[in-house]
Amino acid sequence: MTRVWLPVALLVAALVGAGAAVKMPQGDRLHASVRVAGIQVGGLSEPEARRVLQEWADRREAATAELTPTPGSASRRTRRTTVAALGYTLDIEATLRAAMGIGSAVSVFEYLATAVSGEKPVNVPWVWKVDKARTAHELRRLFAGPLQRLPVDSRLIEDVGGNRVTSSKPGLELDAETTALALGPVLKAVTPSATGTPETNLPDPSVRVVSRVVDPRVSQSAGGGPWEVVAQYRTRYARNADRTQNLVVACRRINGHILAPGDVFAYNDVVGPREEDGGFRTAMVIVRGVYKPGIGGGICQVSSTIYNAALLADMEIVSRSHHGTPVAYVPAGLDATVAYGVVDFRFRNRSSGPLAVMAQVRGGHVEVRLLGTPSPGKRVSIVQTGVSKWPQATKTLADRTLPPGVRKVVEKGHAGCRVTTLRVVEQPGKPVRRETISRDYYAAFPRIIAVGAPTAPPQGGAPQAGASRIPGSSAGAEPGGAAGSSEVEQ
The residue extents of the domains of the chain are 19-214, 224-489
Q: What is the pLDDT of residue 378?
A: 96
Give the whole-angstrom CA distance, residue 229 versus residue 158.
Answer: 13
| Residues 311, 347 contacting (CB under 8 angstroms) | no
Ranges of beta strands (E only) in 175-253 are: 206-209, 211-214, 228-236
Taking only the tens place, the pLDDT of each residue in 144-179 is 777 778 888 888 988 777 788 888 888 888 888 888
| Residues 197, 40 contacting (CB under 8 angstroms) | yes
CB atoms within 10 A of CB 16: 11
Ranges of beta strands (E only) in 155-306 are: 156-159, 162-165, 171-174, 206-209, 211-214, 228-236, 257-259, 264-266, 282-287, 290-295
Give the whole-angstrom CA distance, residue 258 versus residue 268.
Answer: 15
Taking only the tens place, the pLDDT of each residue in 51-110 is 999 998 898 888 888 888 866 565 678 888 998 999 999 999 999 998 888 865 444 445
Taking only the tens place, the pLDDT of each residue in 211-228 is 888 888 777 665 566 899
Per-residue pLDDT, averaged over 279-293, amounts to 77
Q: What is the pLDDT of residue 458?
A: 52
Q: Regarding predicted confidence, which is higher, 219 or 306?
A: 306
Give the whole-angstrom CA distance, residue 308 versus residue 313.
Answer: 9
Mean pLDDT, the chain, rounded, equals 80
| Residues 307, 285 contacting (CB under 8 angstroms) | no
| Residues 149, 156 contacting (CB under 8 angstroms) | no
Angle of the 92-100 helix axis to the 46-62 helix axis, nearest 10: 140
CB atoms within 10 A of CB 411: 24
Q: What is the pLDDT of residue 12?
A: 44
CA 231 to chain centre: 32
pLDDT band for position 8 (50/70/90)? very low
CA 368 to chain centre: 28
CB atoms within 10 A of CB 61: 16
Q: What is the pLDDT of residue 93?
A: 93
Per-residue pLDDT, averaged over 401-426, amounts to 91
Give the whole-angstrom CA distance, residue 337 versus residue 447.
Answer: 23
Q: Regarding predicted confidence, which is higher, 120 or 482?
A: 120
Burial of 192 (0-12, 13-18, 19+ CB in 10 A): middle
Bond before 226 cis per omega within 30 degrees: yes
Give the whole-angstrom CA distance, residue 303 versus residue 184.
Answer: 48
Three-state secondary structure call for residue 458: coil
Give the whole-angstrom CA distance, residue 212 versus residue 217.
Answer: 15
pLDDT band for position 261 (50/70/90)? very high
Rg (CA), the chain: 38
User: What is the 3-state composition of the chain as percent helix, strand, coil, each rounded to the nearest 5?
Assistant: 25, 35, 40
Mean pLDDT check: name the lowest of 84-93, 282-291, 312-321, 373-382: 282-291
Cα 302 to Cα 122, 144, 315, 366: the distances in Å are 73, 33, 17, 7
Compute the half-sphere exposure of residue 115: CA atoms within 13 Å on the CB side of its CA. Answer: 10
| Residues 30, 124 contacting (CB under 8 angstroms) | no
CA nearest neighbour of 211 among 169, 168, 177: 177
| Residues 59, 89 contacting (CB under 8 angstroms) | no
Q: Regarding predicted confidence, which is higher, 305 or 75?
A: 305
Vertex 299: Cα angle to 297 and 303 (nearest 5): 150
Strand partners, 67: 79, 207
CA nearest neighbour of 448 among 277, 303, 289, 252: 289
Q: Are strands 122-124 and 34-36 parallel, antiparallel or unpaired?
A: parallel
Give the whole-angstrom CA distance, residue 172 versus residue 144.
Answer: 10
Q: Regarding predicted confidence, which is higher, 307 or 239?
A: 307
Give the whole-angstrom CA distance, residue 126 versus residue 485.
Answer: 75
Three-state secondary structure call for residue 337: coil
Q: What is the pLDDT of residue 206?
A: 79
